[in-house]
Amino acid sequence: MTERPTKMLNGADLTVEEIVAIGVGDLRVGLDPAAIERCRASRLFLEEEVAARRVIYGVNTSFGPMCNKIIDDGEIEALQVNLIRSHAAGLGEPLKDYIALGVLAVRLNTLVKGYSGVRVELLEFMAGMINRRIAPYIPECGSVGASGDLIHLAHMALAIIGEGDVYHRGALRPAAQVYAELGLAPMRLSFKEGIALMNGTSAMTALAAFALFGAKKLLRLSCVTGAFSLEIFGGIDDAFDEDLHRVKPHPGQLEVAETIRRLYAGSGNITLRRDMHELIRGQQSDGPVFETSINVQDVYSVRCTPQVLAPIAEAIEAATRTVETEANSSNDNPIIIPEKRKVIHGGNFHGQSIGFVMDSLCMALATLCNLSERRINKYLDKNLNEGLPEFLIPGTLGLTMGFMGAQYLATSTTAENRQLAGPVSTNSISCNASNQDVVSMGTVAARKAFKSVSNAKHVVTLEVLAVLQALSFRNADTLGRGTGRIYGLLAKEFTLYDNKGIFHEELVKFRKLLFSSQIFDDLSAYWAGEEGGTP
């Protein structure tokens, strides 16, 4: 078996894609030697400060509004365990094990920056958990995202000290039992280490990374289905002309239009602007008005794809920058800066930045679903689909239903995503005896975005099936170079839906194919602009 590659964590360059890869087990983690030395210096300075009897929040004081209660040196280790046990108070469905491992990886990366004052032994233990795929049990509900993800990260910390449950080899079991079988001793935390594990944004950040990973796939597929729709309906290339978009130069719009042009380059299905006038005039009949069968302009769901997807692309890009900044930040309290001999109390644990971009991502995903659902409707409605069979039925109309029932999935899920697009990062509620009087709800926003991604995958999966069904009736032989290549890959897995099977089974199969397989990896050049040519 090939050894998995290793990501050396240094607190500076962890990406969204790497968080996901670590979570699903495609990457191991290691600890950067230079970062380890920074952590040793941070710990040494903190030990000196404690020995000098400095009063440091969360080290020799209690927490939150009880921070004026000073703890005896003999109890400062017990203080950390008490914090974890009392705050491991989440409820709801647990995070998937791969997301929990992502949470662990993000927290480890923030601690490795060297500003949290934890021991190297703790960092090594966390790395070992990730590489052995010991995933903490973390219920989804509980964080207000202000003093970090206290509830979520308390459950993570509980697993580190050998209490609570963990996922290992696909089973949820007591942590103590798993450690005993593996010959591991759980961590005994020293001062500062409990609060350092808990006081941060690592749960919302890991959730956001997984949401963004899915959103990026959805955006690429929406470009593909946009190109297919243009070809199926024989649209005019005007709407994707480079000069058109250069006079409204939103970066996302330019990117999407270029991608779609590359996908349909070489197509025999599209009406070219230079040929449109002659083709229309060739249909002229006597009288003051004549009607042409050529679409002088296509409906917005086809024609405006670059304009609609532009803010979605830009929202994903902005969210990626924010999430990667957060994943590589010291979002702890207090912060230890040994080279400046500082222990600084502040609010780096606050998750407002993640909350904002995750709410924005929910808006983007609702918009993506709007576009996809309207194109599905155009394929199915006999009054709109330009000669395709009603509901894309290949058999006897009325006796078989085609895509009639499946459309409800897209419509209802799009409605749900519109509801999820409402912001939660503005819904601050004071808590913690009004110590946490302005909170971010960033983790709720990230959970909402993750759900929105899952819903959007349902809608886009159905759109892809509708595209393939429509291409069984026309235009498959004259697709562009990019669309033709993608069609060739998908057509191998596609069976014309003729009511002889259960539609759900096709949806499950294609959702997995589109979002959980490597089918589009060899098409990455189209997204990078390296292939496909200029039409």
Q: Token pair for residue 533?
A: 């040519």
Question: Is-catalytic flag, 57?
Answer: yes
Q: Which residue blocks in 381-441 are alpha helix, DSSP H? A: 404-420
Task: Say which of 57, 300, 408, 497 is annotated catalytic.
Answer: 57
Q: What tokens does 47 get?
A: 């030990």
**Any idea how long the chain is?**
535
| Alpha-carbon span 101 to 96, nearest angstrom | 9
Q: Are 26 and 4 in contact (CB under 8 A)?
A: yes
Bridge pairing between strands 6-9 and 28-31: parallel
Classified as helix, coil or strand, 168 is: strand
| Bond before 334 cis per omega within 30 degrees | yes
Q: How big is the CA angle at 440 (ends 114 and 199), to the nearest 5 degrees?
A: 30
- As to burial, measured by CB atoms within 10 angstroms (0-12 exposed, 13-18 middle, 19+ buried), residue 499 is middle
- 3-class state of residue 494 by DSSP: coil
DSSP-based three-state secondary structure for 493: coil
- Check if the beta carbon of residue 465 is closer than 8 Å to that of residue 410: no
According to DSSP, the residues that pair with 337 across neighbouring strands are 342
Direct distance between the N- and C-terminal alpha carbons of the chain, in angstroms, rounded to an integer: 45
CA of 530: how far to CAs of 225, 242, 366, in Å? 20, 17, 30
Q: What sign has the CA pseudo-torsion 199, 203, 208, 209?
A: positive
Q: Taking Cα atoms as reference points, which of 139, 162, 265 lies closest to residue 532?
A: 265
- What's at 506, amino acid-wise? E
Nearest in space to 155 (alpha carbons), one of 141, 170, 145, 169: 141
CB 150 within 8 A of CB 199: yes
Across-strand partners of 174?
A: 165
Alpha-carbon distance of 285 to 255, in angstroms, equals 41
CA distances from 320 to 132, 273, 310, 360, 522 (A): 28, 37, 15, 12, 23
Strand partners, 168: 171
Half-sphere exposure of 361 (CA within 13 A, CB side): 40
Torsion-angle region of residue 56: left (phi > 0), alpha (psi -120 to 50) or beta? beta
Nearest CA to 440 out of 61, 162, 149 is that of: 149
Assess contact for 116 and 336: CB atoms under 8 A.
yes
Active site residues: 57
